[in-house]
Amino acid sequence: MEDTIAAIATAPGEGGIGIIRISGEHAYNILRRVFRPAHPESLENRKMSYGHILNPQTNSIIDEVLCVYMKGPKTYTTEDVVEINCHGGMVPLRKTLELVLQSGARMAEPGEFTKRAFLNGRLDLSQAEAVIDVIRAKTDKTFDVAMNQLEGVFSGTIKEIRKKLVDILVNVTVNIDYPDEDIEEITYEKLEKDLIEVKFEVNRLLASAETGRMIKDGLAVAIIGKPNVGKSSLMNSLLRESRAIVTEIPGTTRDTIEEYLSVKGIPVRLTDTAGIRETSDIIEQIGIEKSKESFNQADLVIFILDCSKDFSAEDREIMEQIDEKKTIVVLNKIDLPAKIDESAVRDILPNAYVMKTSMETQEGIGDIEEKIVSMVYDGKVSQNNSLIVTNVRHKDILVKAEKSLGDAINMTQMGEALEFIEIDINSAYASLGEIIGETVQDDIINEVFSRFCLGK
């Protein structure tokens, strides 16, 4: 990492300011070559300086800027860092960056600033991955979970689990290497108990992974039902705007309509589908097929019934198709005399949540939002829990570690030799090290940072 790197750190496009970031041993000298401060003595460590970017060859002014020089190691990368605050158009940024590169820096690769922070020990790998999650967060909850990971809450838990495994490994190794010494002999009963405790901690993290996926990537929700039961009205109510056309004419919605919203911090991809019914209209048939495709791919199905009408064969057919899906059944039009009750629904969909609404009066809409959130957490994770696994790489590693611990426990129960048990404990320890970057291969590290944008 002897190179000094530079890149535009702000998003492309016009804005109030644009920032060029420089990091490395020669950051200060490069700044001195291209920047003329209004007061020569003002270019001090961690103090903003006003001046101009000049072309060293022509002495012409490129931009009027504010610069700050930050001496390492107390910087983002732990190296000497310079940030040049230019006017926020692409021309002054590009021309300033060109001068910086001509003065000895090279163009940073995507994520290279954060990669240096990792390689220099300021961040572990899971914290570095959280940086991009913070940048891409679309809701408050997504942001909060990412910030907790960036602050080291998740990696701290992984380190605690690994510390417990180290303690177990020390006892196992000592008993293997020095069986005749006067040391405390490890018992299989105690070893099994300790391993089960560690496995419980790993499983606790894994239990949050599905919730974490939905918090990070969004919950796919499909609104389905026959024509004219209130699907489009529900979508408009949840969005709080008239996105879908609502009429008395059956079959108005002929294609799926997708919108994104935040429900109490949970990103939701909401799909209003074409009403499912028998029809000879070819275009409507295509829409109905897309409706079926949508609910098959959804994390959650909201099935709407018009409770002012009797069950139909079409209703029963739809319910049979969603029997194994997470489902909220909405009995709509409760402002009218009811012909369908909850018990009739539960006879067909015993595991579904049944709710009552009136799209006419908006009664029950808030309850649907609450139920969507509770189904995301699914009773396995507290809504206030900051320790949620959102990264697929982390989940896969935890699964691998959990299997190794399970194998070690099985061999302990069978009284196998400690040498064999030690192998699986070591495997679990090494796997968990991949999460924080202590035992990870270079190609994995490169893959992680290749997902970053330039300048971060």
Which pLDDT does position 381 carry in this prediction? 61
How much is the mean pLDDT over the chain?
Answer: 86
Angle in degrees, 0-180, between the axes of helices 209-217 and 392-413, rounded to the nearest 10: 180
Which pLDDT does position 245 carry in this prediction? 42
CA 404 from chain centre, in angstroms, equals: 26
CATH number at residue 170: 1.20.120.430
State which amino acid sits at residue 440: V
Q: How does strand 35-37 pair with strand 49-54?
A: antiparallel
Least confident of 258-267, 284-293, 342-351, 380-389: 284-293
Find the domain containing 189 and state its range: 128-213+391-451
β partners of residue 81:
23, 70
Quote the CA–CA distance of 23 and 6 in Å, as a whole number: 7
Residues 74 and 81: beta-carbon distance below 8 Å: no
Q: Specify if 120 maps to a domain.
A: no
203 belongs to an annotated ligand binding site: no
Which pLDDT does position 422 carry in this prediction? 94
The domain boundary residue, chosen from 355, 377, 399: 377
Q: Model confidence at 252, in pLDDT bands (50, 70, 90)? A: very low
Which residues, 6 or more positions from 422, have their beta carbon under 8 angstroms from its beta carbon? 169, 172, 173, 176
Q: Is the pLDDT of residue 102 over 50?
A: yes
272 belongs to an annotated ligand binding site: yes
The tokens describing 342, both together, are 């909850």
Which pLDDT does position 255 carry in this prediction? 54
Q: Is the pLDDT of residue 377 over 50?
A: yes
The domain boundary residue, chosen from 330, 347, 377: 377
CA 93 from chain centre, in angstroms, equals: 31
**Mean per-residue pLDDT for 113-120?**
94
Q: Are residues 370 and 395 in the same domain?
A: no
Which pLDDT does position 229 carry in this prediction? 83
Q: Are residues 196 and 248 in the same domain?
A: no
204 belongs to an annotated ligand binding site: no
Q: Could you say which DSSP state residue 358 is in?
A: B
Q: Model confidence at 278, in pLDDT bands (50, 70, 90)? A: low
Residue 8: phi and psi, rounded to 5, are -75, 125
Quote the CA–CA distance of 177 and 2 in Å, as a whole number: 44
Q: Specify if 116 maps to a domain.
A: no
228 belongs to an annotated ligand binding site: yes
CATH number at residue 71: 3.30.1360.120
CATH number at residue 271: 3.40.50.300
Which residues, 6 or more positions from 385, have their beta carbon under 8 angstroms from its beta carbon? 208
Q: Are residues 330 and 368 in the same domain?
A: yes
Helix (H) or strand (E) holding 451: none
Of 391, 403, 404, 402, the closest CA to residue 435 belongs to 391
Which pLDDT does position 384 carry in this prediction? 65
Q: Specify if 383 maps to a domain.
A: no
| Percent of all residues in the chain with a pLDDT value above 70, rounded to a whole number | 89
Which pLDDT does position 63 carry in this prediction? 94
456 belongs to an annotated ligand binding site: yes
37 belongs to an annotated ligand binding site: no
Q: Are residues 156 and 230 in the same domain?
A: no
DSSP one-letter string for 1-39: --S-EEEE-SPSS-EEEEEEEEESTTHHHHHHHHEEESS
231 belongs to an annotated ligand binding site: yes
248 belongs to an annotated ligand binding site: yes
Q: Are residues 135 and 170 in the same domain?
A: yes
Residues 141 and 214: beta-carbon distance below 8 Å: no
Task: List the end-to-end C-alpha distance of the chain, in Å, as a whole number.
Answer: 16
Which pLDDT does position 39 carry in this prediction? 84
50-to-44, 45, 70, 305 alpha-carbon distances in Å: 12, 14, 15, 66
More confident residue, 183 or 327: 327
233 belongs to an annotated ligand binding site: yes
Least confident of 58-67, 203-212, 249-258: 249-258
Q: Are residues 243 and 344 in the same domain?
A: yes
253 belongs to an annotated ligand binding site: yes
337 belongs to an annotated ligand binding site: no
Q: Is the pLDDT of residue 212 over 60?
A: yes
273 belongs to an annotated ligand binding site: yes
Residues 254 and 231: beta-carbon distance below 8 Å: no
Q: Model confidence at 254, in pLDDT bands (50, 70, 90)? A: very low
Which pLDDT does position 2 carry in this prediction? 76
More confident residue, 374 or 40: 374
190-to-4, 390, 409 alpha-carbon distances in Å: 53, 33, 11
The domain boundary residue, chosen from 377, 408, 431: 377
71 belongs to an annotated ligand binding site: no
Q: Are residues 254 and 306 in the same domain?
A: yes
111 belongs to an annotated ligand binding site: no
Q: Are residues 228 and 372 in the same domain?
A: yes
pLDDT digits (tens, 9 = 90+) for 379-410: 666 666 668 999 999 999 999 999 999 999 99
Q: Are residues 266 and 359 in the same domain?
A: yes
Which pLDDT does position 152 carry in this prediction? 93
* Total of domains in the chain: 3
Q: Is the pLDDT of residue 253 over 50?
A: no
Q: Are residues 403 and 283 in the same domain?
A: no
242 belongs to an annotated ligand binding site: no
Report angle CA 279, 285, 288 to the nearest 5 degrees: 105
Q: Model confidence at 292, in pLDDT bands (50, 70, 90)? A: low
Which pLDDT does position 141 carry in this prediction? 87
252 belongs to an annotated ligand binding site: yes
Q: Specify if 115 maps to a domain.
A: no
Q: Are residues 245 and 360 in the same domain?
A: yes
DSSP one-letter string for 277-310: -----HHHHHHHHHHHHHHHH-SEEEEEEETTS-
Q: Specify if 230 maps to a domain.
A: yes
29 belongs to an annotated ligand binding site: no
Least confident of 53-57, 106-110, 342-346: 342-346
Quote the CA–CA distance of 144 and 161 in Å, as a whole number: 23
Q: Are residues 30 and 92 in the same domain?
A: yes
Which pLDDT does position 251 carry in this prediction? 46
247 belongs to an annotated ligand binding site: yes
pLDDT digits (tens, 9 = 90+) for 20-29: 999 999 999 9
Most confident range (mean pLDDT) of 47-61, 68-82, 205-219, 232-246 is 68-82
122 belongs to an annotated ligand binding site: yes
